[in-house]
Amino acid sequence: MPSIVILGAGAMGSGLANALVRAGWEVNLWGTWLDDHLIDAIEAGSPHPRIDVVISGKVTTFRSDDLAKAMDGVDVVALSVASAGVPKVVELALPGISKAQALWMTTKGFLPAEDGTIQLLPAGVRAIAEEAGVELPPIVAIAGPVKANECAADEPTATIFGCKDKDVAVKYAREARSDNYAIEPSDDEVGVEVCAPMKNVYAIMLGIADGLQDKTGHPHHNLKAATFAQAVREMSILSVALGAKEATAYGLPGVGDLEVTGLSGRNKVYGSRIGRGEGAKTALETMKELEQTVEGVPAIPLAVNLVEQTDASLKERMPLLFAAQQIVYEDDPNYADVLAQAVLPPRP
Amino acid sequence: MPSIVILGAGAMGSGLANALVRAGWEVNLWGTWLDDHLIDAIEAGSPHPRIDVVISGKVTTFRSDDLAKAMDGVDVVALSVASAGVPKVVELALPGISKAQALWMTTKGFLPAEDGTIQLLPAGVRAIAEEAGVELPPIVAIAGPVKANECAADEPTATIFGCKDKDVAVKYAREARSDNYAIEPSDDEVGVEVCAPMKNVYAIMLGIADGLQDKTGHPHHNLKAATFAQAVREMSILSVALGAKEATAYGLPGVGDLEVTGLSGRNKVYGSRIGRGEGAKTALETMKELEQTVEGVPAIPLAVNLVEQTDASLKERMPLLFAAQQIVYEDDPNYADVLAQAVLPPRP
């Protein structure tokens, strides 16, 4: 029976815990210093506060001061904390990670290095390990169209495990599989990592098209579809520029994850508010008051920096990303035109 | 001022008429023998009965017995009748088509030849012309994520013009462009033609995921996203097998059109009914009573035949198409499992 410790008892970590119990794994779930209330609920057998699903009683829970015990002797470590928590948690967990056979990562995002360059998360984790003189096991990037609540509740879910060593991806895709949790193995770590934060940005833009319907009283489906197609194109362009395979953006991590993120979720809701005419800044304040983090917002300037540091000529091929910057950060009142200009094919 | 006759006064023909008036074209709109009530409404300045948008007074209308007059001296002929009407209308219009500089086609579908083989529509039209000993001008396949009502109402719309002669596609993409009607030129006629009918099939399957939410009371977003990604993959597989470019399925005609078709429309509504548990046959009868044609339903067996005549080994790479056949034509009560099996990655 393979064993894992999942670091972070939030939505995705807890959803993964349930899926792995079903696949026959021994699961330790470690909560950070911010997760005590989540661990309380899990231990009480109450629904997880973030996803409203009960976490299996077979999961062994650990509090933040029990990290060493939680990591003791496990085959795999999974990093499932918020991206802002990655540096600190990785530093604390390095001794345990170095003894594991693999480091899985469900956490996604762009990580600014100290010199200001933008890294994908695995590169950031590798840099932390290198600085500490610790050797890491293979990293498995986990992404794709997975709402954690559905994953936890055993609804049919397709995900992707991306590891530079394809054999490692295949091994875990096989071992973690259960009837309703299905994994596509891939050797494209970079593609998986790029699509995940970018789709949050583009989901805001899809939301704007929805909001325009509320504002004007008639649908903007053609605009939304053009936005979707352009978003997929841009995820592919950026991925390829960073060394990923084109196919990844056209599969589960790109097309699939954009579909699910554009269906619902906070990024889409925020975009709808902009589309309805609330103003980008006002709408963001409203989201904050509702304690709704909009992941796509901080991702925009990081993505812009990443594009500029990678290849400045990408800019003209990624007009939708720059339209997102103009709408969200410059609060452009002509957002409807800005969006349409970015996604309609140019005059030939 | 370029001039066009649009054959067929239905939703798409009338939507195109409005778009071309805005681009400065001289537009003749010819109604078939089934379109008299539509022509009546257009001439009265009432909203078009199918799309609820007024058609421009600059459009010159013609009744079915005035075909020759409608076609006289135009630069371009656009075929916008229902696919079942293609053989008859093309036969009648051949003299006029042969004098035009291009034949545009917004009509989409699979056309069974007399020997039972399945043709794409342009191949069917070419066969009719060849039999009559008439030479055709270049064909421009028009598709992409276009709801006719939004196109007619001047909402932002992106479409694609596919012509084997790319220069022809570029010429018309330029001439037909207006602020909100934007055209991507392509040389991939086949890709454009394959994606259009296939997306109707797959929109039914997306609808099933929506219906499962109604039935079970909890969302099936992960399943819907996996279905979306698999649908895109299958459109790409079939397109490439038929000689198209892979990129087409990943752009406006594939990803884009599937997005808009999966958002709303009759195929999606029909799928939702199946998902809710109405039964595929009963649900289809209900749609018929409501006079709602579900284009994806007849497309399924034609697509299955096309796959089998093209390369039988494609079958195992296109499980979602065959799941559609099993659910819609065999009325499989285990449709939820059939869908999940088709779209979840197999055990590695």
As for the ipTM of the complex, it is 0.97
Higher pLDDT, A302 or A291: A302
Distance between B334 CA and the closest CA of chain A, angstroms? 14
Confidence of residue A27 (pLDDT cuts 50, 70, 90): very high
pLDDT band at residue A48, thresholds of 50, 70 and 90? Answer: very high
Instruction: Note the pLDDT of residue A289.
Output: 95
> Is the CB of residue B107 less than 8 Å from the CB of residue B83?
yes
Question: Taking a C-beta distance cutoff of 8 angstroms, is the pair A254, A190 a contact?
Answer: no
For residue A335, the model assigns a pLDDT of 98
Ramachandran angles phi, psi of B6, nearest 5°: -100, 125
- Residue A278 to residue A210: CA distance in whole angstroms: 13
CB-based contact B209:B220 (threshold 8 Å):
yes
**Residue A346 to residue B228, Cβ atoms within 8 A:** no
Q: Do B223 and A155 touch (CB under 8 A)?
A: yes
Rg (CA), chain A: 20
Average pLDDT over residues A98-126: 95
Q: Is B149 a known ligand-binding residue?
A: no
What per-residue confidence (pLDDT) applies to B264? 82
Q: Is B245 a catalytic residue?
A: no
From the candidates B171, B199, B224, B268, which is the catalytic residue?
B199
Domains of chain B: 3-187 (3.40.50.720), 191-343 (1.10.1040.10)
- In degrees, rounded to 5, the angle at the alpha carbon of residue A256 between the alpha carbons of residues A177 and B212 is 75
pLDDT band of residue A68 (cuts 50, 70, 90) is very high
Q: Which helix (H) or strand (E) holds B235?
A: helix B221-241
Q: Which helix (H) or strand (E) holds A194?
A: helix A189-216
Which residues on chain A are in Cβ contact (under 8 Å) with B342? none
The Cα A171–Cα A183 span in angstroms is 11
| pLDDT given for residue A217 in this prediction | 95
Task: Give A170-203 pLDDT, tens digit per residue.
Answer: 999 999 999 999 999 999 999 999 999 999 999 9
Residue B251: closest C-alpha in chain A: A229
Write the DSSP symbol of residue A141.
E
- Mutation target among B161, B222, B233, B317 for the A interface, most CBs of A within 10 A: B222
A4 sits in which H/E element: strand A3-7
Quote the minimal CA–CA distance from B227 to chain A in Å. 8
Backbone phi, then psi, for B51, in 5-degree steps?
Answer: -125, -5
Q: Do A263 and B225 touch (CB under 8 A)?
A: yes
pLDDT number for residue A46: 98
Per-residue pLDDT of chain B (348 residues; tens, 9 = 90+): 999 999 999 999 999 999 999 999 999 999 999 999 999 999 999 999 999 999 999 999 999 999 999 999 999 999 999 999 999 999 999 999 999 999 999 999 999 988 989 999 999 999 999 999 999 999 999 999 999 999 999 999 999 999 999 999 999 999 999 999 999 999 999 999 999 999 999 999 999 999 999 999 999 999 999 999 999 999 999 999 999 999 999 999 999 999 999 888 899 999 999 999 999 999 999 999 998 889 999 999 999 999 999 999 999 999 999 999 999 999 999 999 999 999 999 999
Contacts of B177 in chain A (CB under 8 A): 347-348
Report d(CA B131, CA B127) in Å as an integer: 6
Residue A264 has pLDDT above 90, yes or no: no
Residue B114 pLDDT = 85
CA atoms within 13 A of residue A73's CA, in its CB half-sphere: 4
- Asked if A347 has any chain B CB less than 8 Å from its own CB, the reply is yes
CA distance A251 to A257: 9
How confident is the model at residue A4, as a pLDDT?
A: 98
Strand (E) positions, chain B? Answer: 3-7, 26-30, 60-62, 76-79, 102-105, 110-112, 118-120, 139-143, 157-162, 181-186
Full DSSP string of A261-306:
HHHSSHHHHHHHHHHHTS-HHHHHHHHHHTT---THHHHHHHHHHH
Nearest residue to A151 (alpha-carbon basis) of B11, B44, B254, B226: B226
Residue A114 has pLDDT above 90, yes or no: no
